[in-house]
Structure 1
Amino acid sequence: MPTVDSSFAPGNPRILVLLSHYLPGFRAGGPLRSIAHLVDHLADEFDFHILTSDRDLGDGAAYAGVEADRWVPVGRAQVRHLPPARQGPLALARLIRQTPHDLLYLNSFFSPRFSIAPLVARRLGLIPARPTVLAPRGEFSAGALALKAAKKRAYLRASRAAGLLTDLCWQASTSFEAADIRAAMGPDVAVAVACDLSEPNLGAPPGHLPRAPGQKLRVVFLSRVSPKKNLDFALAVLSTVRCGVDFVIYGPLEDADYARSCRALAESLPSHVTVRWAGPVHPDEVPAVFAANDLFFFPTRGENFGHVIAESLAAGTPVLLSDTTPWRGLAAAGVGDDLPLDAPAAFAVRIEAMAGEPAEAALARRARAAAFARRRQREDDNVADSRTLFLSALASRAVMA
């Protein structure tokens, strides 16, 4: 009959979370914020311990004022910020062994240090046998897999052959991502859908200064500058529009070569389209950034959730997206558009239509966007799904005697 592993901890179950970047960083975007919101919602029921890097995405220096390689409270979690020298496979395996936990939670499939190395250590018995949840965070979308495709296909084959994926619990943020995971891993793989949780309190939309007559359409891109986020597509679309556009780009330059190619595209745009590179923006400033613009243009190759989309809509700013995110049916809701990437002309048509939209219609659209974001939050923030995900995974530690 089933018996329970005697190492199961009393009190709240302890979840050991591994991800490449966490608070106080912010440049890594969605996965970081997904975990921060998860902790906010479930810290009364689970003890979260987080192993992560000691610096933000793209930074050469560690966080100022944060003690590295020590467990420190960050919000409602205990976090250990590791310097690069402590992120090697053996050092990380040692830390996992030394950290009592009931469940291991990985937040990438392709991260060499914070996912691949722990999976190898798990297979070799270098870390304790614990239930393991893996959330690929959108890495299995068709657009994401198309980037460095040969390398990713090789690792997929190798990980299966080496038995790294045995007894994993897969987490998808939506039914769309669940389908992506099954397409990559096989139709019979078990996937639990637990939606990413939003900011607990979105707050009222910030004030917006309406566009003056004759003023160019104010369009913003806010994300990491990397091939997955598809800024080059946005610039190519803007090269074809006939209306005036002020385009501002916020976000860290994750891929230097890609950023250079995007800068070259920006410099070739016609004179009625101006481009400004504004760099990273702190999360506290994001609502005001969106409120200052008329449209969020985000033709991403794939998102498992898209916190930044929710933030734009919550600020009342309509969105122009690819159809590779869970945010669908936007035109019917009157809050934006989700269009296929193989129809770039359709994106240009929507930008030109918004540029010609009367002020009254634009204000009404902003009100609909803010209301839509709050309604969507009430529908999606099903904390019970995340709770069930962890409890079901923990129950799998029961073994047959």
Structure 2
Amino acid sequence: MEAPPRILVFVPYYIPGYKSGGPLNSIRNLIGHFHKEFDFLIITSDRDIGDTEPYPAISSNAWQPVGQAQVYYCAPETMTFRHLKRLISDTPHDLVYLNSFLSFRATTIPLILRHLTLIPRKPVVLAPRGELSRGATSLKPFKKKLFITAGKIIRLWKNILWQASSEFEQRDIIRKLNPPAANVFVASNLPSVVSDCPNSSPCRPFNPPLRLLFLSRISPLKNLDFALRCLKEVVNPATFSIYGPIEDRKYWSKCLSLIKELPAHLRVHYEGPASPLDVPAIMAKHHLFFFPTRGENYGHVISEAIFAGTPVLIADTTPWRNLAAKGIGRDLPLQESRAFAEYIDQFSQLTATEYAQMHRRVMAYSRELQRDNGDIEANRRLFYSALGLTPP
């Protein structure tokens, strides 16, 4: 039997880490769906984002089995041109899969080594993971514009394929980098395999006060400060639970100042980072997931809310759209902050029966997502096209 193609995956952070959020989940879910078709070899950091010590119970700078893949956890001092050149050259592979546009160690170094023909020239797929969205590029714009200009001049991204998780991201990639349209594949991030998703989640009691939830990294891109400003306009009592690692201390100080300005009928609790194993239970304890992000290429945390049966209130900056028509929440423009507050007040006036009906619609939609094989097929076409092979 012929050996399956070997995909060498670069991702800044991987399990057992969890603070980096979406990209980590994207890779874990991809492997869950395709480990029988491809061999995955992952090169990543040996510690979580912001941590100074490596993960316990892993071996740094060595290959080891982790779930359904082989993982090489690099200590910080080994994420260098010399070490990565040797590691890539010594690791047989058929395809390189990069999972960041801006990560210097996990993307730029491998691309420069490829550009200088210092490593085997294999097909490359690059997934920007939302880093080219308008919301993301509006943060530190000069530095990002300089990097993109330099990359274009030296043709750093010549002859690679791009993975866009939605038509929105496809437009972002083409708008910013102008690659051949045929080289930009739309292949959405995948949810957990069905066995990892609950078939049903009990409806939580809908008694006052309304329990709102924000669960994400504390950084400008995730827009917690906007959520807090919206809450200032909410009339009805509510509690707002915030979960997530503090990525930007200066930004968090700004959020703390906004929390102090909230009226007494709005209570805010910061609960710290959430372990992935605890996320479904956290979602299930809250009535509404409130996430006005500046931009997501997918939004794994939104899918986690839906799989937990929790209605969502998000910005229209993600692929999760037309939520009102589905009866599971709202996706609103960030230019209309008052609309977010109005929806929260309207939501708090639902009866227990109306909320239970909405919960059932959310669970029905989650089952619909699990049954949809279109995104799986799109990912399969992407990788087989990159490899120059015909899908089975």
- TM value normalised by structure 2: 0.96
Offset of residue 173 of structure 1: 1.0
Q: For residue 207 of structure 1, what is the aligned residue in structure 2? A: 202
Q: For residue 277 of structure 2, what is the aligned residue in structure 1? A: 284
Contact 1:222 1:251 in 2 (8 A): yes
Q: For residue 379 of structure 1, what is the aligned residue in structure 2? A: 372
In the alignment, structure 1 residue 116 sits paired with structure 2 residue 108:
yes
In the alignment, structure 1 residue 239 sits paired with structure 2 residue 232:
yes
Q: For residue 311 of structure 1, what is the aligned residue in structure 2? A: 304
AA at the equivalent of 2:7: I
AA at the equivalent of 2:209: K
Larger RCO (CA under 8 A, 6+ residues apart): 1
In the alignment, structure 1 residue 88 sits paired with structure 2 residue 98:
no
CA distance in 2, matches of 1:341, 1:279: 26
Contact 1:206 1:288 in 2 (8 A): no
Q: For residue 59 of structure 1, what is the aligned residue in structure 2? A: 51
Q: For residue 138 of structure 2, what is the aligned residue in structure 1? A: 146
List per-residue Cα deviations over 1:252-305 (Å, max 9, x = no partner).
111121112111211221111111000111111111111110100000111111
CA distance in 1, matches of 2:377, 2:206: 42
In the alignment, structure 1 residue 357 sits paired with structure 2 residue 350:
yes
- TM value normalised by structure 1: 0.93
Q: For residue 345 of structure 1, what is the aligned residue in structure 2? A: 338
CA distance in 2, matches of 1:208, 1:283: 21
CA distance in 2, matches of 1:34, 1:323: 21
| SS across alignment from 2:372 | helix
Q: For residue 97 of structure 2, what is the aligned residue in structure 1? A: 105
AA at the equivalent of 2:204: L
Offset of residue 379 of structure 1: 2.5
Contact 2:244 2:273 in 1 (8 A): yes
- Choose from 7, 28, 39 the match for 1:15: 7
List per-residue Cα deviations over 1:68-95 (Å, max 9, x = no partner).
1111111110001111011123222221
CA distance in 2, matches of 1:108, 1:187: 17
In the alignment, structure 1 residue 158 sits paired with structure 2 residue 150:
yes
| SS across alignment from 2:112 | helix
- Choose from 175, 180, 184 the match for 2:167: 175
Q: For residue 4 of structure 1, what is the aligned residue in structure 2? A: none
| SS across alignment from 1:297 | strand
CA distance in 2, matches of 1:23, 1:316: 25
Offset of residue 144 of structure 1: 0.8
Offset of residue 146 of structure 1: 0.6
Contact 2:18 2:276 in 1 (8 A): yes
List per-residue Cα deviations over 1:308-327 (Å, max 9, x = no partner).
11111111110000001111
Contact 1:208 1:292 in 2 (8 A): no
Q: For residue 5 of structure 1, what is the aligned residue in structure 2? A: none
**Quick check: 336-345 or 52-61, which moved more?**
52-61
CA distance in 1, matches of 2:274, 2:373: 26
In the alignment, structure 1 residue 367 sits paired with structure 2 residue 367:
no
* Alignment root-mean-square deviation, CA: 1.3
Q: For residue 287 of structure 2, what is the aligned residue in structure 1? A: 294
CA distance in 2, matches of 1:255, 1:277: 15
Offset of residue 376 of structure 1: 2.5
For these two proteins, the number of residue pairs brought into alignment is 385
- Give the alignment of 1:320-339 within 5 angstroms: 320-339=313-332
- Choose from 248, 269, 272 the match for 1:255: 248
AA at the equivalent of 1:116: T
**Quick check: 49-58 or 203-212, which moved more?**
203-212
Contact 2:201 2:363 in 1 (8 A): no
CA distance in 2, matches of 1:277, 1:172: 33
CA distance in 2, matches of 1:284, 1:309: 16
AA at the equivalent of 1:300: T
| SS across alignment from 2:296 | coil
Offset of residue 96 of structure 1: 1.2
CA distance in 2, matches of 1:120, 1:364: 54
AA at the equivalent of 1:151: K
**Quick check: 371-380 or 331-340, which moved more?**
371-380
List per-residue Cα deviations over 1:31-85 (Å, max 9, x = no partner).
1011111111111111100000001122221101111111111111000111101
Q: For residue 60 of structure 2, what is the aligned residue in structure 1? A: 68
